[in-house]
């Protein structure tokens, strides 16, 4: 089974990720090295490297592998960065980021998911990931600023708290929009000003919290 999963992971990188234009050697190596099958429920492990998101409980999902790779590449990490992830979920995206960045802080609204991710990441030996339970739409100001911020849930607009916690030259990758219309955006801070670029249409679960979607809005 282990050999089959390793083969599936290699195929995932070559067939789903490289062919769609993800070229960063750091990102490709991270996608090859992180065992996505460890982050999905046991009854979904046979599908861990397939080309779609999977449910992980609590109404949340683990993102499609290509989207994980693309969002990571858009941060343009070089290895010395402190990165903030909003929406720990399964912990898989945090593990991919931690394979490249110096330190990853990840905030999850649902304590059950944060606890499960902590157990898996601990078993896999990731020492540079710090998990926090709280309102991710407010970021994590205690360890700001961040050279990269990645949000794994859709917001109505980029939360000001996240923009405020972005370092000079840093990049924020975030899906923006409502249930039926989201765009993956990259925001960059240059000399105190922000510019952004739309990348591709996407479909994410809603970002909950003070600067996210509120109950009944989504």
What is the 3-state composition of the chain as percent helix, strand, coil, each rounded to the nearest 5? 35, 30, 35
Cα gap 180→217, rounded to integer Å: 13
Q: How many residues does the chain have?
A: 218
Closest CA to 89 of 55, 123, 65: 55
Q: Is 63 a catalytic residue?
A: yes
Dihedral, CA atoms, 209, 135, 126, 51, nearest 10 degrees?
0
H or E, element range at 202: strand 193-202
Cα gap 124→18, rounded to integer Å: 25
The catalytically annotated residue of 24, 33, 63, 106 is 63
Cβ-proximal residues to 184 (8 Å cutoff; 6+ apart), any chain: 67, 70, 71, 74, 173, 174, 175, 198, 199, 200, 201, 202
Active-site residue numbers?
A: 63
């Amino acid at each position: 089974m282990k050999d089959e999963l390793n083969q599936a992971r290699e195929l995932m990188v070559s067939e789903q990720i490289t062919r769609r234009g993800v070229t960063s050697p750091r990102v490709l190596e991270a996608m090859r090295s992180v065992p996505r099958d460890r982050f999905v429920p046991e009854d979904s492990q046979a599908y861990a490297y397939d080309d779609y998101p999977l449910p992980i409980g609590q109404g949340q999902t683990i993102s499609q592998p290509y989207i994980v790779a693309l969002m990571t590449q858009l941060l343009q990490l070089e290895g010395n960065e402190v990165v903030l992830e909003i929406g720990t979920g399964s912990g898989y995206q945090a593990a991919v980021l931690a394979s490249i960045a110096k330190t990853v802080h990840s905030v999850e609204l649902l304590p059950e998911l944060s606890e499960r991710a902590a157990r898996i990441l601990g078993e896999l030996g990731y020492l540079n990931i710090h998990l926090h339970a709280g309102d991710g739409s407010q970021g994590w100001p205690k360890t700001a600023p961040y050279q990269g911020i990645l949000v794994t849930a859709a917001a109505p607009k980029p939360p000001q708290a996240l923009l405020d916690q972005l370092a000079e030259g840093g990049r924020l990758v975030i899906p923006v929009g409502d249930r039926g219309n989201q765009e993956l955006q990259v925001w960059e801070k240059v000399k105190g000003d922000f510019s952004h670029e739309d990348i591709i249409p996407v479909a994410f679960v809603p970002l909950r919290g003070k600067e996210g979607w509120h109950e009944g809005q989504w």
